[in-house]
């Protein structure tokens, strides 16, 4: 079988790329390891930046998002029982929208299913000849062996996928692990707040968010190696009450613990293989950037592949890594900043006082609040591939936090991509 772009993974990156390429008249095939029901019900991200919402509308999949998504104008920062409002819309003119990642996936899949082949339950996916102009993907589907010859391959298969592993000898990895994770729940409870609450607390960070007027999404900072069995529902509600104040309780129908890590692979391309989304980078969820970065990557990748395939022009394709990493590193810095400002770092009272000084600065300085707001809603999409200066690469830089916590050594280790949020 032949196609122009073989896309591995039917997550936000893979499906959005398929939509963009189809719109540009480029043939593609999507290979997904899991079945459709699983992919469409995997609960993870829920916060869409304005850029992401705008692109979904542009692609014709914004109708349900506009109807059911919850547009938010701001967030609260909370410390010592008091909320401080950050007026995101007032400061930036832009919004965030709460709309579950699984709903984005359903909308994209429904829009694509008649247009682009999506092979769910593709097994043993392997990449070959990626340095050639005709890279191949082999896989099993419906108990048969298949081979897909392409002009280019897009590795959109998440943090634990096969694509990055294929080029692991050609990339530099930057990684950082935090000594804590997030215990997240979904509960049948009307949110007790109109906006998200990011709470600093001496007992540890907590986040109040929502999925609808009836469903609350709440998170607690817990140690990285915490066992969910130690957290019966009563304990979760009691702890949320301690850290967040008023919380509406309800039936908890999903809970899990997500480790926190930052990771970037560079370059995001080798030969005719291009990585996008979590396959190339992950961020701690404090900045709510993962899904949005995945969508931004493919916004840049689609025209680069189209030019490469149509006209043989390689400048955009060659510049893909630098263009994508510009936003990735901005998001890494912001996510790290939010994480370090709000979590118990286990580093003693001096660090705590610095955190409180930062929160106080945001509360009293419009410049500080504006900086947080424009990062939180996301900087406008880059109009082109022009960078102010070239990126330089360092050799492998692996860092873990001061307290005991394993650095990332294997892409198959349990982690963000594996844990429902």
Ligand X SMILES: Cc1cc2nc3c(=O)[nH]c(=O)nc-3n(C[C@H](O)[C@H](O)[C@H](O)COP(=O)(O)OP(=O)(O)OC[C@H]3O[C@@H](n4cnc5c(N)ncnc54)[C@H](O)[C@@H]3O)c2cc1C
Applying CB under 6 A, which residues contact ligand X?
8-14, 31-34, 39, 44-47, 101, 122, 125, 156-158, 161-162, 184, 258, 277-278, 285, 288-292, 294, 416-417, 419, 421
Residue written as token pair 């850290």 = 243
Question: What are the backbone angles phi and psi of residue 157, rounded to the nearest 5°?
Answer: -100, 30
> Which of 247, 283 has the CB closer to ligand X?
283
Nearest distance in Å: CB 397, ligand X:
22
Residue from 42, 262, 316, 369 nearest 152 by CA: 316
Which structure tokens are listed for 296? 């931004």
Q: 144 vs 392, which CB is nearer to ligand X?
A: 144
Output b/e per residue, 130-160; b: 16+ Cβ within 10 A: beeeebbbebeeeeeebebebbbbbbbbbbb
103 closest CA partner among 20, 46, 22: 46
Q: Is the alpha carbon torsion for 202, 47, 373, 340 positive or negative?
A: positive
CB closer to ligand X out of 39 and 206 = 39
Q: Give me the residue label for tokens 């349990």.
A: 414
- Token pair 């997500």 is at which residue? 258
Spatial separation of the C-alpha atoms in residues 400 and 82, rounded to whole Å: 33
Minimum CB separation of residue 230 from ligand X in Å reads 19
Least Å distance between CB 43 and ligand X? 8
What DSSP state is assigned to residue 272?
A: T
- Tally Cβ neighbours within 10 Å of residue 40: 17
How many of the other CB atoms lie within 10 Å of CB of 246? 9
CA dihedral 340, 342, 347, 353 (to 10 degrees): 110
We find the least distance from the C-beta atom of residue 44 to ligand X, in angstroms, to be: 4
Shortest distance in whole angstroms from residue 401 CB to ligand X: 19
Short-list 286, 180, 181, 183, CA closest to 235: 183
Contact between 58 and 19 (Cβ < 8 Å): no
Q: φ, ψ for residue 247 (rounded to 5)?
A: -135, 130
Nearer to ligand X, 99 or 237 (CB): 99
Instruction: Give the residue with the Cβ less far from ligand X, 292 or 306.
Output: 292
For residue 135, the Cα-to-chain-centroid distance in whole angstroms is: 27
The answer to whether the peptide bond before residue 267 is cis (omega within 30 degrees of 0) is yes
User: What residue is closest to ligand X based on CB?
Assistant: 421
Query: How far does Cα 236 stand from its chain's mean position?
Result: 25
CB of 6 to ligand X, least distance (A): 11
Q: How far is the CB of 364 from ligand X (least distance, A)?
A: 28
- CA atoms of 144 and 132, how far apart (whole Å): 26
Nearer to ligand X, 164 or 358 (CB): 164
Shortest distance in whole angstroms from residue 145 CB to ligand X: 15
Closer residue to ligand X, CB minimum distance, 47 or 265: 47
What is the token pair recorded at 352? 């705590």
Q: Which residues are catalytic?
A: 72, 198, 285, 289, 376
Q: Residue 145 or residue 367: which is nearer to ligand X going by CB?
A: 145
Tell me the three state secondary structure of residue 67: helix
Structure tokens at 276: 């996008």
């Amino acid at each position: 079988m032949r196609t122009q772009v073989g896309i591995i993974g039917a997550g936000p990156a893979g499906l959005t790329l398929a939509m963009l390429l189809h719109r540009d008249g480029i043939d593609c095939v999507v290979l997904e390891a899991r079945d459709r029901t699983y992919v469409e019900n995997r609960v993870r991200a829920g916060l869409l930046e304005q850029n992401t919402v705008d692109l979904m509308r542009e692609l014709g999949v914004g109708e349900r998002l506009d109807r059911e998504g919850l547009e938010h104008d701001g967030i609260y920062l909370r410390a010592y029982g008091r909320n401080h409002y950050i007026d995101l819309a007032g400061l930036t003119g832009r919004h965030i929208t709460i709309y579950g990642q699984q709903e984005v996936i359903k909308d994209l899949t429904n829009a694509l299913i008649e247009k682009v082949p999506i092979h769910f339950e593709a097994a043993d996916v392997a990449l070959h000849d990626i340095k050639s102009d005709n890279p191949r993907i082999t896989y099993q589907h419906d108990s048969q062996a298949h081979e897909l010859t392409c002009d280019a391959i897009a590795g959109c298969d998440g943090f634990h996928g096969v694509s990055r592993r294929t080029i692991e000898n050609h990339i530099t990895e930057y990684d950082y692990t935090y000594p804590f994770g997030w215990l997240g729940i979904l509960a049948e409870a009307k949110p007790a707040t109109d906006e998200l609450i990011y709470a600093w607390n001496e007992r540890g960070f907590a986040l109040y968010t929502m999925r609808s007027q009836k469903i609350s999404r709440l998170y607690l900072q817990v140690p990285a190696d915490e066992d969910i069995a130690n957290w019966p529902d009563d304990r979760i509600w009691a702890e949320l009450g301690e850290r967040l104040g008023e919380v509406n309780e309800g039936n908890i129908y999903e809970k899990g613990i997500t480790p926190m890590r930052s990771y970037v692979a560079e370059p995001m391309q080798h030969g005719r293989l291009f990585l996008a989304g979590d396959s190339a980078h992950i961020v701690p969820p404090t900045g709510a950037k993962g899904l949005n970065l995945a969508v931004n990557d493919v916004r840049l990748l689609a025209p680069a592949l189209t030019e490469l395939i149509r006209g043989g022009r390689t400048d955009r394709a060659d510049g893909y890594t630098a263009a994508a990493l510009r936003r990735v590193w901005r998001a890494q810095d912001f996510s790290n900043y939010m994480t370090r400002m709000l979590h118990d770092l286990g580093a003693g009272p001096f660090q705590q006082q610095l955190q409180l000084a930062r929160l106080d600065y945001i509360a009293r300085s419009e410049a500080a609040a504006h900086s947080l707001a424009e990062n939180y809603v996301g900087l406008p999409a880059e109009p082109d591939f022009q960078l102010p200066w070239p990126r330089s690469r360092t050799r492998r830089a692996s860092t873990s936090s001061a307290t005991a916590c394993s650095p990332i050594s294997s892409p198959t280790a349990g982690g963000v991509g594996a844990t429902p949020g």
